[in-house]
Amino acid sequence: MPVRTTRDGVEIFYRDWGQGRPVVFLHGWPLNGDAWQDQLKAVADAGYRGIAHDRRGHGRSTPVYDGYDFDTFADDLDDLLTQLDLRDVTLVSHSMGGGELARYIGRHGTGRIRSAVLLSTITPYLLQGPGNPEGVPQSEFDGVKAGLLTERSQCWKDMTELYFSANRPGNKVTRGLEDAFWYMAMAMTVEGGIACVDAFSTTDFHDGLGKFDIPTLVVHGGDDQAAPIEATGRKSAALIPGAELKVYEGGSHGLALVPGHKEKFNQDLLAFLEK
């Protein structure tokens, strides 16, 4: 398997398809790099080099017990980019991957980075509070962690309803898509599943977003029930100088996997890469 070893001995699995300017995909929780296969093929077919790794504790990377914080994730990404000697990179992030991207730029700068895409990300801050009334209440995160401890397999199955807005009339979410979500989620360690909830719900990414000095595309679903657009996408776009915001009406948190919105996102991504 194609892997790279981090500074602390963790093996990071990655897919590497195509030739050309590199496009590196950062997956969301609780998925892995397989979530990006449609986009990997799209960019490889268009003449780019698509790379997607499994975050530590996810998929085929080392199933470690600790290190589920954004400083560590950002440094893992830096290890991967450095060891592959990738430059002029477009980073494409989804969900908690947006936090990884923001923390990477905050810690390591944009010397290797050409541009960035934030898709349905958790930035700049997800937890509801006095300064962030649009955010997600702590009780919802507590409920997810309790569900994972009680019976994580069923918890992942239940989560597909919200993740893909499968609870909306006329949705295009298939049983196969729900099963794929469950399969990827079950490949993550239970400790990683719980620790990541604490990490992505309480980490503040304002500082990292303030250091973006590259072209940035922000894409968010208008019906994102996991990372509400008013708390995340709109605020992220406002914080990044010159960022372009695209709102997909009715789009779910996992819109890049759902037929209809998936094809639209692929088109928007390829158009952005051409700039």
Q: Which residues are catalytic?
A: 95, 224, 253
What backbone phi and psi angles, to 5 degrees, belong to 211?
-100, 5
Supply 160's token pair.
């597909």
CA distances from 142 to 10, 123, 196 (A): 29, 20, 12
Residue 150 CB contacts under 8 Å (≥ 6 apart), including other chains: none
> CB of 99 within 8 A of CB of 200?
yes
Nearest in space to 124 (alpha carbons), one of 254, 238, 226, 268? 238
Distance CA 44, CA 15 (A): 12
